[in-house]
Every structure is written in C-alpha cells, then in structure tokens.
Amino acid sequence: MSNTLVVFYSYSGTCRRVAQLLASHHGWALGEIRDARPRSGFTGDLRCLLDSLLRRWPAIRYEGPAPADFDAVVIVSPIWAAQMAGPMRTFLAENAGQLRRVAQITVMNATSAANAVSEATRLLQRPPVLTTELLTHDIEDGSATKELLAFGDALASAALLPPSDREAAGAPPGNRPNLPAASV
Ligand SMILES: Cc1cc2nc3c(=O)[nH]c(=O)nc-3n(C[C@H](O)[C@H](O)[C@H](O)COP(=O)(O)O)c2cc1C
C-alpha cells in the first residue's frame, strides 16, 4: 500500500521520531498536527492533562498533504493521562469523514493504549485496521524499531487491502483481516 500518509502529533519529540522513521523507511508521505496555541513548561503539561481529563478538543493546525488523497493514514500520538493526546482527538474529529483506512500507533511510558484505540474507533465509527503501542524507552534505545517496521510491513501487505483489491493482488479470497482491529 504505497499511497499511505503518516500523520503525527508530538509534544516532546518521541512520536515525531516514530513517524519520521516509518515514513522514510516506506517512502510514505508525512503530515504533522501542531497546537494552534503552543504549549510548554508546567502550564503546557497542565493543559495536556486537562485535555485528557475533560476530553477536550484543543485547536490544531494540520501541516501536510490532504488525508483524503490517501488510501491509508497512519496516526501516531502519545498517551496523556491514559487517553489519546488531545490534538489527535481533534484531528480525528475534524477529519473522520476524509479518512479511508486508518492504522494507529500509540506511544506511552507504561500504561495501555486501550482507551486511545477505543476513542479512535468511536470517532472513526469503525476500528483502525491495525494498531500497535510502543514504549518511550524502547523507542529511545532503538529496541522498538523492529516492531515499528514490522507494523509498516503489515500495513503495506496485500492482507490489509479490501477483498476486491486483495484478489487483484493475488491474495486468496475469504480471509478479511482488515475488519477487526489487529495488533502487532
Ligand atoms: C501530560 C502528560 C501525561 C502523560 N500521561 C501518561 C500516561 O498516562 N501513561 C503513560 O504511559 N505515559 C504518559 N505520558 C508519557 C508520554 O505518553 C510519553 O512520554 C510519550 O513518549 C510522549 O510522546 P511525545 O514525545 O511525542 O510527546 C504523559 C506525558 C505527558 C506530557
């Protein structure tokens, strides 16, 4: 699946690294979600927490190619207070109707991405075709790279195309792994 866009939000740089590595490895396009009102320091962290606790939709600016032009969009965002980071919530809410297939990468220190996957499913009105969660320290020491690239390979494979495209690509009919959310 070469017509894929990687869209990321990153507050402290980790998700940016993940998105850049994935996009450059596969030759995929990259788009960035930025805060309309930049955040930093103690008040920035506090706003992150409040965005999660109150499920707020902070105003964003999207910089990148139009998501509607792509067959698949990989979203990459951190966890804040056990929830999807607020700017990605806004992006999904504003673009749900434009997104065809969505794959989700969630980055965190320790806790689960379950809430973020549930929220993406609710906003998109369907589950992501593929999900994975990565830990910050595994990204920093490079041990998550293999898992990240395997995620990209799985998304790129014919197994995640819709049935008609898969049969054209030579895959056997009947196996439809893109319907439920999957994990690698
Ligand atoms: C305000 C705030 C809340 C966070 N809450 C959680 C959390 O609940 N669980 C967790 O595992 N990590 C949490 N983290 C850690 C981030 O998810 C992690 O550092 C991630 O790699 C940040 O990605 P980024 O560098 O792209 O912004 C939190 C970070 C911030 C700033």
Domain boundaries, the chain: 4-168
- Mutate-to-test residue for ligand 1 from 11, 45, 88, 108, highest number of ligand atoms within 8 A of CB: 108
Closest atom of ligand 1 to CA, residue 109: 11
Question: Ligand 1: does its nearest atom lie under 6 Å from the Cβ of 70?
Answer: no
If we measure between CA atoms, which residue out of 83, 14, 93, 8 comes closest to residue 51?
83
Structure token pair of residue 165: 């495209």
pLDDT, tens digit (0-9, with 9 covering 90-100), for 6-49: 999 999 999 999 999 999 999 999 999 999 999 999 999 999 99
Check if CATH label 3.40.50.2000 holds for domain 4-168: no
Contacts of 41 (CB under 8 A, 6+ apart): none
pLDDT, tens digit (0-9, with 9 covering 90-100), for 143-175: 999 999 999 999 998 555 555 454 444 444 333
pLDDT the model gives residue 79: 98
pLDDT the model gives residue 162: 58
pLDDT, tens digit (0-9, with 9 covering 90-100), for 78-100: 999 999 999 999 999 999 999 99
Question: Ligand 1: does its nearest atom lie under 6 Å from the Cβ of 80?
Answer: yes
Q: From atom 30 of ligand 1, which residue's Cα is the shortest distance away?
A: 80
